Amino acid sequence: MSPKNTGRIVIIPGTRTATRKQQTDEIIPQPRRMSRQLRHGVVFAVLLGLVITSLLTLSPLTGGQYGLPILQNFGHWLQNPLGWTIPAHMAPAQAQMNNHQANVNMPPMNLPKSQYVAIAQQDAIDAGISPVYFVRQIYLESGFNPNAASPAGAIGIAQFLPSTAAGLGINPRDPIQSLRGAARLMASYAKNYGGDYAKALAAYNGGSGTVQNAVRNCGANWLNCLPGETRNYIHVIMGI
């Protein structure tokens, strides 16, 4: 006698899917996160390296020595490549400042405590000339006195003749205009003489004709052919 079919469906729970998932989880390794202490250590090491590099390249001690002797050669190695490229791009005013720093023959000069000294320095920098030479020049011209006047008719802090001031479009009695105009005039002279600042000073003091006569008569020794006043003018300002 065959068993009677009752029409019921019997579901037998399976375990194969769960077993496969468990095996897969066991095979695939879970990513390991870096510990907080290790992350902080890496960040600190990077920052420390940046600080040391900055100190070596930007803050050498006096005489070119470094606080840690073991890092001295490394510091020089970092600085030398910069030293090869900087002179080629050095501005004319910066080059002139380097030149006057090496000149120890400039006579001492006691500058007044005047606001016009700082203004003259900035005007010189803006015009692309040496602020040191320009300040010494204005001191020699007027002692930074805006009301200075000479027997020859020059007036103001930069000692312009009225005709010269008119040609520059400035009021010679206005110290701000005069300093700016004098700096630009010196820059123009220096450019005309190929950057020879001594000739620019000679032109400011004695006129362009004085420079031409000295060069024509003495050539490379033109300084020796200048009038005594102009020759002393250059010596006091530049020390040559």
Residue 74: band (very low, low, confident or very high) from pLDDT cuts 50, 70, 90: very low
pLDDT at residue 84, rounded to an integer: 37
Range of the domain at 151: 92-238
pLDDT over threshold 80, residue 92: no
Q: CA neighbours within 13 Å on the CB side: how many for 44?
A: 6
Can you give the pTM of this predicted structure?
A: 0.59
What are the C-alpha distances in Å from 38 to residues 30, 45, 52? 19, 11, 21
Catalytically active residues, by annotation: 141
Check which CATH number belongs to the domain holding 202 and give it.
Answer: 1.10.530.10
CA–CA dist 82, 79 (Å, integer): 5
Residue range 96-117, pLDDT digits in tens: 444 544 466 889 999 999 999 9
Asked if residue 31 belongs to a domain, the reply is no
- Looking at residue 92, the DSSP 8-state letter turns out to be H
pLDDT over threshold 70, residue 63: no
Quickly count: other Cβ atoms within 10 Å of residue 228's Cβ: 7
pLDDT at residue 222, rounded to an integer: 97
Asked if residue 29 belongs to a domain, the reply is no
pLDDT over threshold 70, residue 176: yes
Quickly count: other Cβ atoms within 10 Å of residue 87's Cβ: 10
pLDDT over threshold 80, residue 150: yes
Asked if residue 23 belongs to a domain, the reply is no
Return the minimum-mean-pLDDT range out of 53-62, 77-86, 101-110, 183-192.
77-86
Asked whether residue 192 falls in the same domain as residue 75, the answer is: no
Residue 56: band (very low, low, confident or very high) from pLDDT cuts 50, 70, 90: low
The whole-number average pLDDT for the span 138-151 is 96
pLDDT over threshold 70, residue 142: yes
Asked whether residue 182 falls in the same domain as residue 232, the answer is: yes
pLDDT at residue 208, rounded to an integer: 95
Query: For the chain, what percent of residues have pLDDT higher than 90?
Result: 55
Is residue 37 packed enough to be buried (19+ CB in 10 Å), middle (13-18) or exposed (0-12)? exposed
3-state class (DSSP) for residue 42: helix
The whole-number average pLDDT for the span 52-74 is 49
Asked whether residue 150 falls in the same domain as residue 217, the answer is: yes
